[in-house]
Amino acid sequence: MLDRHGLGTAREGARGANPRLIAPALDLVRLRATVGDDWQFMKELCRTFMASSRSLLEELQHAVSCEDRPQVKAVAHKLKGGAGSVCAQRIMDLSLALEHTALGAPGNELAGMVDQIRAALGECASVVEVYFS
């Protein structure tokens, strides 16, 4: 369970695999190294991220369905920044990919990436629920 939530050494055993697939949803070890042993702040930060990213996900969904590609790019960029702040590596990677491909990739590919982000966000929510409830 610790590995799955980024508290163990999940990366070490996955050499050669697609980093997007093995990146932890929420790397709490790295986050703790960044913000220090301030559990309360980590909790506040993660909860802020969850609230913000849920809203951004809705914006993404809407922008993709409207084919508003500049907006897809802008929202993906914003989501990437928030994810980077809490070490949500998988969401960060997916958002980066979405940001880079937003203007050119087919619509169904973008929609697929949004689905992956939604799934990764769901995993983050589980981690937050387990550690910060």
Helix %, strand %, coil % of the chain (to 5): 75, 0, 25
Closest CB to other proteins among 73 and 112?
73
Residue 58 binds to other proteins (criterion: CB under 8 A): no
Residue 44 binds to other proteins (criterion: CB under 8 A): yes
Per the CB < 8 A criterion, the answer to whether 29 and 88 are in contact is no
Residue 126 binds to other proteins (criterion: CB under 8 A): no
Closest CB to other proteins among 3 and 131?
131
The whole-angstrom separation of Cα 24 and Cα 36 is: 19
Q: Which element (helix H / strand E) includes 86?
A: none
Interface map 61-100 toward other proteins (x if CB under 8 A)? -------------x--xx-xxx-xxx--------------
Per the CB < 8 A criterion, the answer to whether 20 and 90 are in contact is yes
Kindly tell me the sign of the dihedral angle through the C-alpha atoms of 75, 53, 3, 41: positive
Closest CB to other proteins among 21 and 51?
51
> Which positions touch other proteins (CB under 8 A)?
34-35, 41, 44-45, 48-49, 51-53, 74, 77-78, 80-82, 84-86
